[in-house]
Structure 1
């Protein structure tokens, strides 16, 4: 290369190097400005969810600005202070208090465009008065998978570490029931099973009530638990399945929605569905004749999964914040009764 060519190449390389260094310097200065106190990114605004009345009690639990942070939602605040109605990001109403007229809807004071949430974890068979709520609510919070805010009674999560050992299984089947009515399908099925299967019955409807802290230790020695729902509806799988059976370490025998619904939540070999049998006698024969190796297959999921119960209403209401950015603002349930019973 000639001297002139070398000089030209040198100049081009030098200018490129200087330009690159200048760009790096500018980016560094911009980053410093972003980090400077006067140029800090705007903080994420806190979302306020007003709980108009707390479910099943006149004395709501203590709430703080960090209540939802315990569930991984740091910019979400629950409040029962009704003076916040005008500026709450959403207001949630639990149906039982509306149904029994222990609470009311502040329709005349409702700010324009404010989303209202209807909340219930009861089945349609035990939900009344929905015809009075046409055209009021924008979103629904319930156990139904097609809810705007879907909150199941429980779920399975990956387990960290080995599963805790279960106590010795020296009893066959248990059932806890509070309301015993002959017209219920679960009671009729129990009547058919009883001559062929020893079932120990606990709860307010029996002569053996259980204190809250006694429930799981009492049920743990049983091989099977009759997780019979009080009514059969879409996605209606309650604490009878999640807590009384799975969390206690008993294999659930389920009466509720179809098998496919349960399989959307748990492995197909984690439960026994009554629909898989032609009669109560066939079911009883299957349960009483099961050997130990077969039984252990129903508990195999415990080695990799654990039960997470979702029974706290604070966690349920905080879930509104997680869904808030994804929910349609212009949606209105014109026929809430038709949707819930559909």
Structure 2
């Protein structure tokens, strides 16, 4: 697994986290639209029960890199819907909202898979609700109850979220691992190594 981000323990500094100012309830940025994807179908059902601010090329509202952070942090909830549902396939769609102080609403592998990587009180999983309507009702309740909403940030007292610089950072981790663990082996033919 090559992670798109990580949660790590806080070291020093303040234990309080200031939730960014919110002026949008639910947001979603999509540039890869496929009506057959589970996320597209779930979105169509969910939008019947709650207002969703949509952005990205799929909605003819592109978001520049300069505006991305401000936009995502201004949303109470962000639809962190993966375009493919597979074990351990958890991408920047989760880690970016976490880093920016927004509660991700995830659609992807099961809840337990997410909980292997991040605290269970840091996200909302669509599978924990019987229907998109029930999820919408829960989000509306959290919108109206500040103390319930703040519970999704208690993990911030002890942890921070970060995203990875995809590619080079992972290569550095591999080099560091090899440096620290001298009992590795070199295999020049990946195909025969994999297929044995």
Q: TM-score range by the shorter chain?
A: 0.7 to 0.9
Cross-structure match for 1:332:
193
Determine which of 141, 150, 171 is the counterpart of 1:296.
150
Checking the alignment, whether the CA contact within 8 Å between 1:253 and 1:273 is kept in structure 2 is yes
Correspondence for 1:241 among 91, 94, 106: 94
For residues 277 and 327 of structure 1, do their structure 2 counterparts lie closer, same or farther at Cα, with a shift above 3 Å needed?
Answer: farther
Listed one character per residue, the Cα deviations across residues 44-70 of structure 1 (whole Å, up to 9, x for unaligned) are xxxxxxxxxxxxxxxxxxxxxxxxxxx
CA–CA distance in structure 1, aligned partners of residues 111 and 176 of structure 2: 29
Q: What is the TM-score with the length of structure 2 in the denominator? A: 0.88
Deviation at 1:169, TM superposition (A): 2.0
**2:76 aligned counterpart, secondary structure:** strand
Equivalent residue, structure 2, for 1:153: 4
Whether 2:171 is the aligned partner of 1:317: answer: yes
Query: CA, structure 1 residues 327+308, in 2 after alignment: closer, same or farther (shift >3 Å)?
Result: farther
CA distance in 2, matches of 1:174, 1:268: 21
Contact 2:26 2:51 in 1 (8 A): yes
Distance 2:162 2:119 in 1: 15
Aligned residues: 185
1:216·1:247 contact (CA, 8 Å) conserved in 2? no
Find the aligned partners of 2:158 and 2:52 in 1 and give their Cα distance: 30
Looking at both structures, which has the greater relative contact order when contacts are Cα pairs under 8 Å and sequence separation is at least 6? 2
Greater mean alpha carbon deviation, residues 177-186 or residues 314-323:
314-323
Q: Which runs of 5+ in 1 are unaligned?
A: 1-143, 145-150, 336-342
SS of match in other structure, 1:308:
strand
Q: Which of 186, 191, 195 is 2:48 aligned to?
A: 195
CA RMSD of the aligned region, Å?
1.7
Task: Between 256-265 and 318-327, report the one with greater CA deviation.
Answer: 318-327
Report whether the alignment pairs 1:274 with 2:135: no
Q: Structure 2 stretches of 5 or more lacking a match? A: none
Matched, 1:227 2:88: no
Is contact 2:121–2:152 with CA below 8 Å preserved after alignment? yes
Offset, 1:327: 3.7
Runs of 4+ in 1 over 6 A off after TM superposition: none
Task: Answer 1 or 2: which has greater helix percent.
Answer: 2
Normalising by structure 1, report the TM-score.
Answer: 0.52
